[in-house]
Structures are given as structure tokens and as C-alpha cells.
Amino acid sequence: MLQGMAAGAGAALGSAFLPGIARGAATPKGAPKRVIFFLQNQGFDPATAIPKGLVENVSLSGVTLPEPVRPLEAIKDKLHIVNGLHGLHTSPSHSAYFGALGGYRGGIGIPARGATIDHIISQQLPETILPHLCIGMDSIENMKSRPTLATLSATGPGQPIFMHSNPNDLYELLFGGISTGDVKQRYEARSKVFNKVERLVSQNGKGVPMGDRGRYELYVDGFREINGLRDRLAGVSDHLKNFAPKYDKKFVNPEFEIDWHDRLLDIGIAALKSGVTNTLTIGSGRGEIFGAWKGLDIEPQGHTLGHMPQPDNEVWVKIRQYNSRMLVKLVEELESMPEDGGTMMDNTLIVYTSNNADKQHTSGANWPFILVGNCGGSVKMGQFTNVKEKRPINALYATLLHAIGAPQDRFNMDQKTAGAYDAKVGPIEELLA
């Protein structure tokens, strides 16, 4: 019973269950920085993001972006397009899975070898109620049958962080305490069950066989964490009322999968704007080879999409433009929020890439990224950078740590591995302001 409830109610919030979720108040202390990771599956062909003819490092001013990312023209002054990084050591193939954000060897069925960059950043940024929120977008069938899935983020070796894919569950978790009607009833009923189960298992755990005692205690701790999270959210309920998205019929009766994609994004934005979290990871395709975009009039789905060339392909133009509109929405929403003499976006960095490097069946020889925002003035904007030296994605992740004020010269790469895959020590200086 404990395992079943864990999968349905709280596993999506942390490793094995919910480690480290109780980290502070709703209002962060210190520099108000936040980082968002957005990964599209099936690869990111550089030709769909890099204007033709660009080879040398150059300003994007006066340059027209390719059609797939044309919606980003509206925020071009905030972009930094990065080409030339590699992930050869991650063995991405169909997907690098945890290796995409971990910078180590990944693959289907391979557990996380260490903490991923999104989790590390969440631990370095100012404390929030929920340090790290992960949401996953997929076909409607997959999101219903597997509402939580862990393939991209991890807190440590063998400790995955699950993504939320059912917006109803996530909405109830974050905003159930301030809701009405069916959402409020489900929230209160589930809260009573959680409290009862926590009391029961805490009293009777001594009878569990020693071989299962560790796992049993992990579940008990998990229920305590869930109840604690709900209590902390209840403590800032008046504040949350200002940010909760409208709970409309598309939550309950989506026509297409993008109805849920859009609502998951809205919840993620609300969590950022309210200060509930400062690190958001979005997995479009959830780090696997699946995914569907029927709501964009796209019939092919899943693995088939990965076998379709992306440049000049109407299907991939639609998917990439949909992603781009999501990025623009993130920027506009954060720009609408005053902060520290400016706006939230002034202190935010969005990292857009793929868990598949440049294509589905890839060696990882080229792994493009688009950075949006300057994270408090630490990252250059309005630029194209072609990294000509042999630098892995780990070097970019080390650069992100420099950008948030927690510098590391290497990320998840020992000296021996770095000797084979990295030409330098330290961040990518061309990216830092």
C-alpha cells in the first residue's frame, strides 16, 4: 500500500521519495536568481536554430533567426545561441537520459551516476518551499497511464527526481489548499489519508523485517515530507492565491495533449512567480523517444519523429515553434513581475536544449544550446558563440555554476575523463559577462 501511494502522490517530488524538500519559507533570501531547463527529445539539429552562414562568434543584432525558432525574434536580444559543445562521453543514442543533465554516460535502464546540474543549482540558489520542480510533457495516453516518470534529473547516484505529467495532481498538490469544489475535496481527502498513514506506519514499523526496514522508513519519511510540504504551502495560502492558474475544463477533459502541456507550463510559471520554487525542469517528451503533438496537427509521434530530418521539415518547424512560444511566454510572464528594482526575468536564466544532442541516433558530437536571459547580469545576451575547442556539455554546466555565484571549474568530470574529453579547465569564458 505504501508503495502504491508513493507512486501516485509524492514520488514526483524527489529521489526515491522526497529528500530535502523542507528548505525554508516562501520568500527566498539572498540574490533572487532562478534557472529553468527545457529539454526537447529527439535531438536539436543546429540548422534549426543557427542562422545560415554563422560560423564565427557574432552579435545576433541584424541577424534573422531560422523559421523553427522564429518566435524567438521577439526576445532575440536576450538569447545566446551556443554551438560546438559535445557529449561524446554520455553515449546519447536514443537519449542520454540522466546523462543529458548529468554530463556522464547514460542510456535506457542506466541509473543516474550522480546529481544532475538542475538539482545542484537548486541547492545553491536561495531557499524556497520546493527547491526543484520537474514537469514532463508526453502523449495524453502516456501522461495518464504514467503520471510520474524519472529519466532526466537526479539528486545523486541512483536517486532520480520524478517529473509531474498530470496537471491535475500537480495543481492539487500546490494549490489544493486554496481551491474550491472537487479539487478542494480531493485535496482534503488525500491529506487525511496521508496523515493517517503516517501515524500508522510510524507506530508499527518495528514489526517490519530487518531486510525491509530501510525501505519502510524511507516511505515513512516520505509521507512526513508530503505532509510537511502541504503544511508549508497552507502557511502561505494568502500569497499563493495571487498566482494560482485558473482551473478550467481542459485540466479534466483535455482534447489534445498540448492542453495538458500548456497547463503544466502555467503551473510551472505560477510556482516560479510565487516563489515556491526557483528551479524548474521541463521535459518535452520526458527524456525518452515518445511524445505526441496531435494538437499541432502533427500525426507522426514517438520514435518516428526521431527518424525525420528536422531542417526544412514542416513537422519539426511546428514542434520547435511551439517550444519557442513557450520560451517567450516564460520570459513575458517573468518580465511582468517586479523584482529587485527590475523584473524577475532580469535574474533568470533559461537553458533550452535536447536530451539527444543534435538528433535521435547521435554520437553526441555536437550538442546545441540556447540560453535565454542573463541571470542577474552574469551571462552575455544577444550573441552567437561557436565553441571551437573540444569542450563537453559539462563545461557549460560549470559555466552555469559560475553564473549563479557558485563557481566550479569542472562538473561531474574527473581528471582522467576530462583529459580525454575537455581541452580546458574552467568555464566557457565567451558566455560570461
| pLDDT for position 9 | 44
* Cβ 110 vs Cβ 98: under 8 Å: yes
Instruction: Give SS3 for 390.
Output: coil
- How far apart are alpha carbons 293 and 326 in whole angstroms? 14
Q: Give the relative orientation of helices 257-274 and 167-175 as an angle to the nearest 10 degrees.
A: 20
Q: Which residues contact 331 (CB under 8 A, 6 or more apart)?
A: 75, 78, 345, 350, 372, 373
Q: In angstroms, how far is CA 298 from the centroid of its own chain?
A: 24
Render each residue's pLDDT in the chain as its tens digit; 433 residues: 444 444 444 443 443 333 333 333 333 345 679 999 999 999 999 999 999 889 999 999 999 999 999 999 999 999 999 999 999 999 888 899 999 999 999 999 899 999 999 999 999 999 898 889 999 999 999 999 999 999 999 999 999 999 999 999 899 888 887 665 676 666 666 666 666 665 665 655 555 566 666 666 666 666 666 667 777 888 888 888 899 999 999 999 999 999 999 999 999 999 999 999 999 999 999 999 999 999 999 999 999 999 999 999 999 999 999 999 999 999 999 999 999 899 999 999 999 999 999 998 899 999 999 999 999 999 999 999 999 999 999 999 999 999 999 999 999 999 999 999 999 999 999 999 9
Query: What is this structure's pTM?
Result: 0.89
What is the Cα–Cα distance from 206 to 203, expressed in whole angstroms?
8
Question: For 428, what's the count of Cα atoms within 13 Å in the CB-facing half-sphere?
Answer: 27
CA distances from residue 274 to 92, 237, 373 in whole angstroms, order as listed: 36, 11, 19
96 class by beta-carbon count within 10 Å (0-12 exposed, 13-18 middle, 19+ buried): buried
Sign of the alpha-carbon dihedral angle for 396, 402, 406, 411: positive
* Residue 262 main-chain phi, psi, to 5 deg: -65, -40
Coil/strand/helix, residue 84: coil
Determine the pLDDT at residue 29: 44
Per-residue cell: 186: 480531493
Domain residue extents for the chain: 12-175+252-431
- Spatial distance between the Cα atoms of 430 and 98, rounded to a whole number of angstroms: 27
- Torsion, Cα 4 10 13 19, to 10 degrees, reads -90
Q: Are 101 and 38 in contact (CB under 8 A)?
A: no
User: What secondary structure letter does DSSP report for 170?
Assistant: H
Alpha carbon 211 to its chain centroid, in Å, reads: 35
Whole-angstrom distance, CA of residue 278 vs CA of residue 123: 10
pLDDT at 173: 86
Q: Where are the alpha helices (DSSP H) in 45-158?
A: 98-102, 117-124, 140-145
CATH for 12-175+252-431, among 2.70.98, 1.10.238, 3.40.50, 3.40.720? 3.40.720
Q: How far is CA 221 from CA 2, 7, 425, in A?
A: 11, 14, 40
Reduced to 3 states (helix: H, G, I; strand: E, B; else coil), residue 393 is helix
Cell 507522426 locates to 300
How far apart, in Å, are the Cα atoms of 52 and each of 46, 120, 431? 10, 35, 21
